[in-house]
């Protein structure tokens, strides 16, 4: 049943249908003792907790609906995790250990480990097993309040294996009860069989993969990085993707400052992600061209890198989103609570900014801000009910989950009480 009446809630939400930039990220709408009515999965009413006449006019006489008393609890829009690689085969704990002993992420990649080792394991796995593994991770994400998740391909790196990954993402979308946004990331690395022939691999993506995957993926993404896909290859590939109707995302300026942010802005990308080493010009370009700056603090933490300059970006007028980057290599974590704590403690983001980053700006990074990311009539009935009545509990409760209930399109998809 997707009819739901939430009453006596402290509703905290950003407002609007687009990314929120700069100092506006601090502005949240608060309704004390609030009510939310969700009919057929869509929010129909948000207001005070005495909506009796609205209940009958919205649900109709005799209609059935579930009721949740949220007294003493904050209700937020469902979290949008706008950057994950949660479909994959195998794990890389040895690589993590090598990194702790001092080896760098890129040097492991250069000697054939890293992404390539997940590519080998993913090619060996059936589509059904890929889906089964991802479902387990998905359940955890939902328990931390995630109601929309972007999922990338990029561990296939040949036509059939990328097709298998995108099909698995499609099956995951059909099976799980939250929104899944599929992204094609054929340009995640140059596969071993094309080593030294980057430009030929780019040709393969442009000529064979992009035209065939247009229906299965809404976005095209690329790892724009020194020694992987540098600026000219990235520009060529992403221009071709845009011409075929893909929306663009970039892994930009993650390991070194290469100008990925500037390229994302030049090509009108929806988001530029990572940005640990973004230049001042890059920050300016993202702010001016309305490219969402998606920051991934769990990855910086797991790689022992400096965090992205979130404060500088927000102060420069960027729209910042936060996402997990959940993947088997650089960041095997999808911990929303830890991400929130890192963003507040080390990136100097306020709790209000973090909420905006994880809701409306995440939705904008998925081109879904017209439907997701705020608690307003007409939007999908996606909300998170916290255990507490105060948003300051979110970073204070370091790394611990304080989600009581997750609601996606009016359905309770997680409840810590059950």
Which CB atom, from 247 or from 409, has the smaller least distance to Fe ion?
A: 247
Out of 170, 282, 329, 373, name the contact with ligand NIG by CB under 6 A. 329
With b for 16 or more beta-carbon neighbours within 10 A and e for fewer, the 81-106 pattern comes to bbbbbbbbbeebeebbebbeeeeebb
262 scored as a contact of Fe ion (CB under 5 A): no
CB of 116 to ligand NIG, least distance (A): 9
The residue number whose beta carbon is nearest to ligand NIG equals 329
Q: Give DSSP secondary structure letters for 92-109.
A: -HHHHHHHHTT--HHHHH
Rounded CA-CA distance 376/45 in Å is 7
410 scored as a contact of ligand NIG (CB under 6 A): no
Contact 165, 155 (CB under 8 A): yes
Out of 325, 353, 380, 382, name the contact with Fe ion by CB under 5 A. 325
- What character string, x for contact with ligand NIG (CB under 6 A) and - otherwise, covers 54-83? ------------------------------
CB of 329 to ligand NIG, least distance (A): 2
Q: Give, in order, the Cα–Cα distances in Å from 293 to each of 282, 366, 382.
A: 10, 12, 23
- What character string, x for contact with ligand NIG (CB under 6 A) and - otherwise, covers 12-51? ----------------------------------------
Residues 169-188 contacting ligand NIG, CB under 6 A: none
Rounded CA-CA distance 274/278 in Å is 9
Q: Tokens 């221009």 — which residue?
A: 239
Rounded CA-CA distance 368/371 in Å is 6
CB of 119 to Fe ion, least distance (A): 14
User: Would the CA dihedral through 279, 294, 84, 221 be positive or negative?
Assistant: negative
Stretches 43-51, 59-67, 113-121, 210-218: which one binds ligand NIG (CB under 6 A)? 113-121
Closest CA to 327 of 247, 413, 254, 417: 254
- What character string, x for contact with ligand NIG (CB under 6 A) and - otherwise, covers 257-296? ----------------------------------------
Which CB atom, from 13 or from 84, has the smaller least distance to Fe ion?
A: 84
Which CB atom, from 327 or from 335, has the smaller least distance to ligand NIG?
A: 327
115 scored as a contact of ligand NIG (CB under 6 A): yes
Which CB atom, from 285 or from 331, has the smaller least distance to ligand NIG?
A: 331
Give 79-94 as a 3 state SS string: EEECCCCCCCCCCCHH
99 scored as a contact of ligand NIG (CB under 6 A): no
Which CB atom, from 59 or from 184, has the smaller least distance to ligand NIG?
A: 184
Residues 211-240 contacting ligand NIG, CB under 6 A: 223
Stretches 59-67, 69-77, 127-135, 321-329: which one binds ligand NIG (CB under 6 A)? 321-329
**Contacted entry of ligand NIG, Fe ion, none for residue 299, CB cut-off 5 to 8 Å set by kind:** ligand NIG
With b for 16 or more beta-carbon neighbours within 10 A and e for fewer, the 233-261 pattern comes to bbbbbbebbeeeebbbbbbbbbbebbbbb
CB of 398 to ligand NIG, least distance (A): 23
Rounded CA-CA distance 75/9 in Å is 6
Helix (H) or strand (E) run with residue 345 in it? helix 336-345
Rounded CA-CA distance 267/249 in Å is 10
- Tokens representing 27 are 């502005």
221 scored as a contact of Fe ion (CB under 5 A): no
Out of 34, 77, 113, 114, name the contact with ligand NIG by CB under 6 A. 114
**Helices 115-124 and 159-175, axial angle in degrees (round to 10):** 80
Contact 312, 279 (CB under 8 A): no
# chain residues binding ligand NIG, by CB under 6 A: 14
Out of 10, 84, 294, 330, name the contact with ligand NIG by CB under 6 A. 330
Rounded CA-CA distance 261/271 in Å is 9
Contact 73, 385 (CB under 8 A): yes
Out of 158, 162, 253, 254, name the contact with ligand NIG by CB under 6 A. 254
Binding site for Fe ion (CB under 5 A): 325
Contact positions vs ligand NIG (CB under 6 A): 85, 114-115, 118, 223, 251, 254, 299, 325, 327-331
């Amino acid at each position: 049943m997707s009819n739901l009446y939430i009453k006596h809630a402290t509703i905290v939400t950003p407002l609007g249908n687009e990314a929120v930039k700069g100092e506006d990220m601090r502005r949240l709408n608060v309704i004390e003792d609030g009510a939310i009515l969700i009919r057929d999965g869509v929010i129909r009413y948000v207001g005070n907790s005495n909506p009796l006449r609205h209940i009958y006019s919205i649900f109709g006489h005799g209609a059935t609906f579930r009721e949740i008393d949220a007294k003493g609890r904050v209700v937020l829009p469902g979290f949008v995790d706008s950057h994950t690689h949660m479909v994959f085969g195998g794990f890389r704990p040895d690589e993590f250990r090598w990194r702790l002993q001092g080896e760098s992420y890129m040097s492991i990649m250069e000697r054939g480990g890293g992404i390539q080792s997940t590519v080998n394991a993913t090619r060996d796995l059936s589509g059904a097993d890929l889906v089964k593994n991802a479902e387990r991770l998905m359940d955890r994400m939902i328990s931390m309040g995630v109601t929309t998740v972007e999922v990338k391909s990029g561990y296939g790196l040949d036509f059939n294996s990328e097709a298998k990954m995108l099909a698995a993402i499609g099956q995951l979308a059909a099976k799980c009860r939250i929104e899944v946004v599929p992204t094609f990331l054929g340009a995640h690395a140059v596969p071993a069989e094309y080593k030294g022939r980057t430009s030929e691999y780019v040709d393969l993506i442009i000529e064979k993969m992009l035209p065939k995957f247009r229906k299965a993926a809404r976005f095209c993404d690329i790892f724009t990085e020194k020694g992987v896909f540098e600026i000219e290859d990235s520009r060529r590939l992403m221009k071709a993707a845009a011409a075929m109707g893909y929306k663009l995302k970039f892994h930009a300026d993650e390991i070194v400052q290469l100008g990925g942010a500037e390229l994302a802005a030049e090509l009108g990308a929806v988001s530029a992600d990572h940005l640990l080493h973004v230049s001042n010009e890059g920050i300016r370009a993202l702010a001016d061209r309305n490219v969402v700056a998606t920051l991934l603090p769990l990855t910086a933490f797991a790689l022992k890198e400096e965090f992205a300059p979130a404060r500088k970006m927000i102060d420069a007028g960027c729209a910042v989103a936060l996402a997990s980057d959940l993947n088997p290599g650089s960041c095997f974590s999808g911990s929303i609570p830890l991400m929130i704590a890192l963003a507040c403690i080390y990136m100097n983001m306020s709790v209000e900014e973090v909420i905006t980053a994880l809701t409306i700006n995440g939705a904008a990074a998925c081109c879904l801000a017209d439907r997701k990311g705020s608690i307003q009539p007409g939007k999908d009935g996606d909300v998170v009910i916290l255990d507490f009545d105060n948003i300051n509990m979110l970073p204070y409760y370091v790394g611990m989950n304080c989600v009581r209930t997750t609601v996606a399109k009016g359905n309770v998809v997680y409840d810590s009480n059950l």
